[in-house]
Amino acid sequence: MSGPKKRKVDSECRVFNKEWTTKYFFTEVRSKAVCLICHETTTKASYLLAFKLAKTSKPFSKGEFLKECMVETADILCPESKNKFEKISLSRRTVTRRVELIDEDLASKLNKKVESFTLYSLALDESNDIKDNAQLLIFIRGINDSFEITEEFLAMESLKGTTWGEDLYYSVSAVMERHKLPWRALANVTTDGSPNLTGRNVGLLKRIQDKVKEDNPEQEVIFLHCIIHQEALCKSVLQLNHVVKPVVKVANYIRARGLQHRQFIKFLEETDADHQDLLYHSNVRWLSLGKVCQRVWELKQEIISFLELLEKGDDFPELSDTDWLCDLAFAVDILTHMNELNMKLQGKDQFVHEMYTNVRAFKTKQALFSKQMSNKSFTHFPTLATLKEAPQHVKKYTKSLDDLYGEFCRRFSDFGKIDKSLHLVSCPFTQDPETAPQELQLELIDLQCDTVLKEKFNSLKLDEFYASLSTDKFPNIRKMAQRMLVLFGSTYVCEQTFSVMNTNKAPHRSQLSDEHLRIATTKLTPDFDALAKKGDQQHCSH
C-alpha cells in the first residue's frame, strides 16, 4: 500500500498574495512568506552590529564569529529566541555591504549639515599609509546660525605621483566641489606644517589664499599650524639627544631580548624595586620619551647592577657619569612638564582659546622656571634637586629654558595674531570696548551692561551663550564668536585617523577600505530603522 501523497504547492496553484503585505505584514522572499516585522528587526540588528565592527576597526570576518557566539549564548539563556539570532546575517560580504550603505547614510547626513554651515574650517594632514601610499586626510568643522558645531571626517584623497602644493590644492578643491562647500564660508585651515602644505610661494595654503582673495578680496582665512605638533617640535631646542640616545638604547636593549627582559623583571622583583619593568620607546611614540627617561632614572641603580651581571656595564658608561646624570635629571623634569601640557592639548572638544590658554600658561611657567633656576632654586625640578652637583649646571639649564621660551614664542606666533580675538570671545565682559574692533564696540557695551546676559554667560557653555544672543542686537559679536569657535586648533583628529587607517590596512585587514574611516571616526548616528526598511534581503544561511 502506497503512503499518503504529499501536497504540492505548485499543483494547488498557491501563490503569494500581494494583499498580505498590507494586511498581515508579510512579504515574499525566495518563494517563502516572511514576516516583515521580524525581517526588519533582524536586518536592523545586522546593520547595528556591522556599524559596531567598523566603528571599532574590527575585521569584517569577525561578524560570523560574533553571530556564532550569540547563537550559542541564546541557546543557553533564551532558547525560544535562538532562531531569531540565527536569522541575523553577519557574513563578511553582508557586513561589507552594510558598512557601505551606512557610510552613504552618514555622508548624506553630513551633506545636509554642510548646507546649514555659516562658516567652516578644514584640518589637513598629509602622510603615508602602511603601504607607503601618500594620503591627504581632510576633516571639517562647521558651525550654523544656532551655534551647533559639527566636526567630522570629510574625505581621504589618495595622492598618485607627486605631492606638491599644486597636487594637494587640486585634491582639496575637488573635495570642496564634491561636497558643495563655498570658498566664501571658509574661515580657517589648520595643517601639520609640512612644506608642501605651508610653502609661501607654491604651497597649498598659498594657493588657497589666492583662490579666496580672487573671489573676495576682503575675506581673511586664518591659517594655523597644529598646536600639538608645534609643542612637540619645541623639544628639539633643548638639545637632549646626548641624554635621549643612551636612555633609549639601554631601555630597548633590555626589552628587545625576551630572555634578557624576563631576567630583568625577575631581578627587579628580587631587589624590591619600585617598578616592575622598563618602558619601551619608539621614535613614533614621542610622548613616551619623558616616561622612559623617568623610569630609567628611577631604576638606574638596578639597571647598573643588572648590566654588571651581564658584563655589559662598559657598554653604557653614561650611567656612571655624574654630569650626564644631571642632564638626565633635568630632562626628566622638563619633559614631565611638557608632557603634562601635551595631555592638556589633546583633551577632547576644546575650543582654540582653551588650547592656547594652556600654551600661554606654560610660557609663563617657563619664565618662572628660568628665573628660579638662575637663582639655584629647583622647586619645580624635584629630580634635579636630588643631585648635589646640580648647582654647577644652572647656567646651562637656564639657557635651555630661555631657548625653550623663545621657541614657544616663535612657533606659536600664528596663534598670537588672533589672541585678542580669542580673548574677546572667551571673556567678552572683561574686554575694554575701546580696544575692541570698531564694529563691535557699541554691541560690546550693550552686552556688558546687560546683567541678565552676564548671568547667562556664567551659567551656560560658551557656544550656548552666543546662540542665545539676539541676531538683531548683536550681529557682529555673533559673527566674531562663530569665527573663533569654528577654528581647528590641531590636526590631532587627522593623526588619530591615520592610526586607524594603518590598522585597517594591515596585511590581515586588507578587506577594509578607505571609505570605512568615516564610521570609525564619526560622531553622527546612522538611521538604522531607515536602513533596515530599505536594506537588501536577509540570507538566513549566513
CA–CA distance, 515 with 509 (Å, rounded to integer): 14
Closest CA to 82 of 67, 92, 95, 94: 67
Q: Is 521 helix (H, G, I), strand (E, B) or coil?
A: helix
CA–CA distance, 50 with 73 (Å, rounded to integer): 19
Q: Where are the alpha helices (DSSP H) in 273-351?
A: 288-298, 300-309, 322-345
Handedness of CA 224, 230, 233, 237 (dihedral sign): positive
78 CB neighbour count, 10 Å cutoff: 11
CA–CA distance, 48 with 41 (Å, rounded to integer): 11
| 122 neighbors 140 (Cβ within 8 angstroms) | yes
> Maximum CA pair distance of the chain?
115
- Find all residues with CB under 8 Å of 337, minimum gap 6, and list them: 362, 365, 369, 380
Question: 240-250 as b/e, with b when 16 or more CB fall inside 10 Å?
Answer: beebbebbbeb
The share of the chain scoring above pLDDT 70, in percent, equals 78
* Cell numbers found for residue 122: 578644514
| DSSP structural state of residue 317 | G
The per-residue pLDDT for 133 is 73
CA–CA distance, 88 with 43 (Å, rounded to integer): 7
Closest CA to 380 of 391, 365, 399: 365
At 68, the amino acid letter reads E
The per-residue pLDDT for 196 is 61
Instruction: Count H helices and E strands in the chain, helices first.
Output: 26, 7
Q: Which residues pair with 27 in a beta bridge?
A: 34
CA–CA distance, 217 with 219 (Å, rounded to integer): 6
At 461, the amino acid letter reads K
Residues of the chain with pLDDT under 50: 1, 9, 11-12, 20-26, 33-37, 259, 267, 270-271, 275-277, 279-286, 507-512, 536-542
- Find all residues with CB under 8 Å of 372, minimum gap 6, and list them: 378, 379, 380
The per-residue pLDDT for 58 is 86
The per-residue pLDDT for 502 is 61
Residue with cell 586588507: 510
Strands (E), 64-143: 119-128, 134-143
Cα 92 from chain centre: 28
| 297 neighbors 332 (Cβ within 8 angstroms) | yes
| 147 neighbors 469 (Cβ within 8 angstroms) | no
Closest CA to 93 of 70, 60, 57: 60
- Find all residues with CB under 8 Å of 474, minimum gap 6, and list them: 443, 446, 447
Q: Which residues pair with 143 in a beta bridge?
A: 119, 149
At 513, the amino acid letter reads S
Question: 83-102 as b/e, with b when 16 or more CB fall inside 10 Å?
Answer: ebbbbbbbbeebbbbbbebb
CA–CA distance, 117 with 71 (Å, rounded to integer): 46
Q: Which residues pair with 134 in a beta bridge?
A: 128
* Terminal CA-CA length for the chain: 42
The per-residue pLDDT for 65 is 92
Cα 340 from chain centre: 18
Cα 65 to Cα 91, 124, 258, 345: the distances in Å are 9, 37, 33, 39
* Cell numbers found for residue 499: 592610526
CA–CA distance, 14 with 7 (Å, rounded to integer): 11
- Find all residues with CB under 8 Å of 363, minimum gap 6, and list them: 405, 408, 409
Cα 360 to Cα 82, 138, 341, 351, 353: the distances in Å are 60, 28, 11, 15, 10
CA–CA distance, 424 with 166 (Å, rounded to integer): 36
| DSSP structural state of residue 190 | E
Each residue of 222-267: pLDDT tens digit?
999 988 888 888 888 999 989 988 888 887 777 665 545 565 555 4
H or E segment to which residue 514 belongs: none
Q: Is 474 helix (H, G, I), strand (E, B) or coil?
A: coil
Q: Which residues pair with 123 in a beta bridge?
A: 139, 190
The per-residue pLDDT for 5 is 55
CA–CA distance, 62 with 85 (Å, rounded to integer): 16
Tell me the pTM.
0.81
The per-residue pLDDT for 399 is 97
Cα 510 to Cα 250, 277, 336, 513: the distances in Å are 36, 35, 39, 8
